Amino acid sequence: MNEVIQNNIKFEFFYDVYFSKDIFHPENSDLINIISKIDSKEINTVSIFIDQGVIENHLDLVDKILYYFKMHRAKLKLLGSPLSVPGGEVCKTNVSVLEGIYQKLHDDRADRHTFVLAIGGGAMLDTVGYAAATTHRGIRLLRIPTTVLAQNDAGIGVKAGVNRFGIKNFIGSFIIPCAVVNDALFLSTLSDRDKKSGMAEAVKAALIRDDVFFEWLESNVEDLVCFKEDAVRYMIKRCAELHLLQITTGGDPFETGSNRPLDFGHWAAHKLETMSEYELRHGEAVAIGMAIDTRYSLDTRRITRIDYERIISLMMKLDFKLEHQAMKQRNESGVLVLLDGIDEFREHLGGESTITVLDSIGSGVEINDISINMMEQSISSLLHEVQ
Ligand SMILES: NC(=O)c1ccc[n+]([C@@H]2O[C@H](COP(=O)([O-])OP(=O)(O)OC[C@H]3O[C@@H](n4cnc5c(N)ncnc54)[C@H](O)[C@@H]3O)[C@@H](O)[C@H]2O)c1
Ligand SMILES: [Zn+2]
């Protein structure tokens, strides 16, 4: 080596997660204020994408948005018409959906100063986010998550990904949104299944980071099950806070190491989602994945039987089914197919096989010495107890 040019690039990123209600109401000025705070130029251009499931349940939404932009035309310019994007996992799996998003960004002549407004569930936000990250090497993304899971987890972080080769998030990118607006109005139309599914991520955040939040979830479980607004609002906000704390202070926002500290229960969850051909919702799969890793934490004598029972009991009270037939599926050699999830989880990041287990309620730890035999036993014991 004769010469070297050393480079050291330092960045600081800022983005805020706002909580509002009915942001496209003509008298609600939150959105225009947020956009103007990010970019004070006279007129900002906006390209809008909406989850089809949201459009079907909020029949006046498109007209409301068009009226909103008409009212604020002195400061906001809407590019083209809002594009309806299929919601759910299909949009991450079907290449033509991504193509349609690129097409609109092209037709809109969106540039790096344009705000891409993505309104929808986690899957749709992932897909639009990935398109925004890769168009012109990155267009500004303003997310408006519309499910519990998207408001407390998927929509507030710095990742976007789509599925290929039967692997979740095989293609993806890190993208820092310019802002996130959690609008409580959207949650009212969620199916019971999706109201509940997102609560799994709150249980996860509590289990690995915050025992007081776990106790709060235990005490408020009845209000959460019937989706009482105050309880739901606090659950989403605290979960989002814990998630953001990890991203901003955890020291590895772009996951360059071997661990994914926020992904407790996720090695099994991702595998179960693909094995069930996405019949399982992400949150439902996370609940099962957490039950497995909680059982493993008990079987490896990290947590007490009492804590194990508290955790399983909370998830059952939240009405999560903690078993699925895919947990019993074996390959030709008689090995549980689900266990492949551990290696696939590692392949996503590289480095050592790492999963998160519990040392106590509120304290998640990453481990590398995973006993496959013990994990198989833990899955079997769990099935025995919850079936
Ligand atoms: N990027 C990340 O960091 C990250 C983190 C966690 C999860 N995820 C991803 O998020 C996805 C799951 O997201 P999800 O749980 O929000 O589900 P989802 O996006 O699959 O949406 C579920 C269903 O709800 C519909 N829907 C959305 N908003 C609605 C509303 N307000 N009213 C009625 N129906 C509505 C959708 O059309 C869809 O049919 C998974 O693909 C998961 O991998 C991403
Ligand atoms: Zn998750």
pLDDT of 349: 67
Q: Write out the residue limits of the CATH 1.20.1090.10 domain(s) in the chain.
A: 192-247+261-386
The alpha carbon of 38 and the centre of ligand 2 are apart by a number of angstroms equal to 28
Give the count of beta carbons closer than 10 Å to the beta carbon of residue 179.
Answer: 20
**In the block, which residue shows the tokens 């590398």?**
368
Most confident of 235-244, 256-265, 336-345: 235-244
Q: Is the pLDDT of residue 258 over 70?
A: no
The alpha carbon of 122 and the centre of ligand 2 are apart by a number of angstroms equal to 10
Q: Are strands 167-174 and 159-164 parallel, antiparallel or unpaired?
A: antiparallel
pLDDT tens for residues 9-58? 988 889 999 999 999 999 999 999 999 999 999 999 999 999 999 999 99
Ligand closest to the CA atom of residue 273: 1
Q: Is the pLDDT of residue 387 over 60?
A: yes
Q: How far is CA 297 from CA 24, 217, 265, 304, 368, in A?
A: 46, 21, 11, 9, 13
- Mean per-residue pLDDT, 331-356: 86
Residue with the nearest Cα to atom 13 of ligand 1? 122
CB of 327 closer than 8 Å to CB of 289: no
pLDDT band at 261 (very low <50, low <70, confident <90, very high): confident
pLDDT tens for residues 117-137? 999 999 999 999 999 999 999
pTM over 0.75: yes
Mean residue pLDDT across the chain: 95
Q: Which of 89, 152, 194 is the pocket-test mutation for ligand 1 (most atoms within 8 Å of CB)?
A: 194
Q: Write out the residue limits of the CATH 3.40.50.1970 domain(s) in the chain.
A: 16-189
Which CATH number applies to 192-247+261-386: 1.10.10.60, 1.20.1090.10, 1.10.287.110, 1.10.10.10? 1.20.1090.10
- Mean per-residue pLDDT, 182-199: 96
pLDDT band at 168 (very low <50, low <70, confident <90, very high): confident
Q: How far is CA 248 from CA 15, 176, 187, 365, in A?
A: 11, 12, 27, 19
- In CATH, the number for domain 16-189 is 3.40.50.1970
Ligand closest to the CA atom of residue 286: 2
Cβ < 6 A, ligand 1 pocket: 51-54, 57, 87-89, 92, 120-124, 126, 146-147, 149-150, 153-154, 157, 159-160, 168, 186, 189-190, 194, 197-198, 281-283
